[in-house]
Structure 1
Amino acid sequence: MSHSSLILTLSGRDQPGLVERLASVITKHNGNWEQSRMAHLAQRFVGLLEVHVASDQAAALCDALRELPDLELTMHVEERTPASSGPYFSLELVGTDQPGIVEKISRALATANVNIEELSTATEAAPDSGAPLFRAVMRLSGSGENARDAIQTELEAIAHDLMVDLKVIK
């Protein structure tokens, strides 16, 4: 039996029971909740979710999910394929918050032929001054033996201009 991956993006008014209703529909259609990232942003509950389901159940699951009230969904279904095999690296970055910081970092990573697998960002007040700090944690993948060195080289070239501290971790 072939299986599909259903990728969902969701947004709705935050309320108790929202995740339970979503999980219930998935379970009723024999779907398996694989991985997700969900958060409360700007008065909304938003998320990304991957569900694995038998290919012959995917359309019915999508139809049932569309019937959920008060939830905006975008769905993409594709046949399951093996996950990429890396190599993977982590990047931690902290610096003064400023417009364009994500663009500059992502451009440096693209120049090094590095893919952003996961990205988590936040802004917070610096403990000493209260000035806004930008914090990013990334899971990266690159091809070749020298991927980690290429990442380090590209990011060090812009770190001073961006006023950020960064650490590439194997």
Structure 2
Amino acid sequence: MSDWKMLTLVGADQPGIVGRVTSALYRAGWNLGEASMIRLGGNFTIMMMVTGEGEVEAVLQPVADELSLHMHVDDIAGSLHQHVVPNIQVRVAGADRAGIVAQVTEVLAQHGCNILELESDVAGSSERPVYIMHIQGYAELPLESLEAALDNLGDIDVNVSPIETLIG
């Protein structure tokens, strides 16, 4: 079993972040596991599992300094091949207001849904913002039960649908 670390890097979006970070890790003999990299509000965020010899901070600090990235590293008890295949997706849209994420995710949790991925965006304009959220998860309850539970959230449109995954 490998000793995994969770590496988080955040900074202003600019070309070359992924290439510079992953190249520095590769050249130093570090291996990548699962990763999530995304642009959020003009910033770029990397979260990835890494394993290797030495101190990953020493390997990446020059790159982080040059690109003005904030770095955080945690030891984790992770391993590969632990992926849960999502079987539902939830799409939410409505006028942006406080509490949408909390309301939807609390209902999903109360009904045993394990959220595997959540992405959100604020569209529209500053005068008329629209909150959009996409969730992928795993639930053992029938879709109709989740739909009924999410149907009582008022002024937001919530759509629950199955994810058909072919694994061969």
| Superposed pair shares fold, TM > 0.5 | yes
Distance 1:147 1:8 in 2: 36
Distance 1:72 1:157 in 2: 40
The question of whether the paired residues in 2 share the 8 Å contact of 1:25 and 1:61 is answered with no
Distance 1:81 1:147 in 2: 29
Distance 2:4 2:147 in 1: 34
1:152 corresponding residue in structure 2? 147
In structure 2, which of residues 153, 161, 168 is the aligned counterpart of residue 168 of structure 1? 161
Aligned residues: 157
Cα offsets for 1:1-54 (capped at 9, x unmatched) = x3344322221233443332211221122323643222142x5x3313223435
2:97 corresponding residue in structure 1? 98
> SS state of the match for residue 108, structure 2?
helix
TM-score normalised by length of structure 1: 0.75
Structure 2: unaligned runs, 5 residues or longer:
164-168
Distance 2:18 2:85 in 1: 31
In structure 1, which of residues 126, 131, 136 is the aligned counterpart of residue 133 of structure 2? 136
2:110 corresponding residue in structure 1? 111
In structure 1, which of residues 43, 50, 53 is the aligned counterpart of residue 51 of structure 2? 53
The question of whether the paired residues in 2 share the 8 Å contact of 1:124 and 1:132 is answered with yes
TM-aligned CA distance change 1:150 to 1:81, over 3 Å: farther
1:32 corresponding residue in structure 2? 32
TM-aligned CA distance change 1:17 to 1:85, over 3 Å: closer
> SS state of the match for residue 27, structure 1?
helix
Structure 1: unaligned runs, 5 residues or longer:
none
> Hey, which bits of structure 1, 4+ residues long, moved more than 4 A?
none
The question of whether the paired residues in 2 share the 8 Å contact of 1:117 and 1:140 is answered with yes
The question of whether the paired residues in 1 share the 8 Å contact of 2:7 and 2:50 is answered with no
Root-mean-square deviation (Å): 2.6
Letter matched to residue 9 of structure 1: T
TM-score normalised by length of structure 2: 0.76
The question of whether the paired residues in 2 share the 8 Å contact of 1:35 and 1:50 is answered with yes
> SS state of the match for residue 3, structure 1?
coil
TM-aligned CA distance change 1:40 to 1:152, over 3 Å: closer
Displacement of 1:101: 0.9
In structure 1, which of residues 75, 99, 122 is the aligned counterpart of residue 73 of structure 2? 75
Displacement of 1:66: 3.8
2:119 corresponding residue in structure 1? 120
Richer in strand (by share): 1
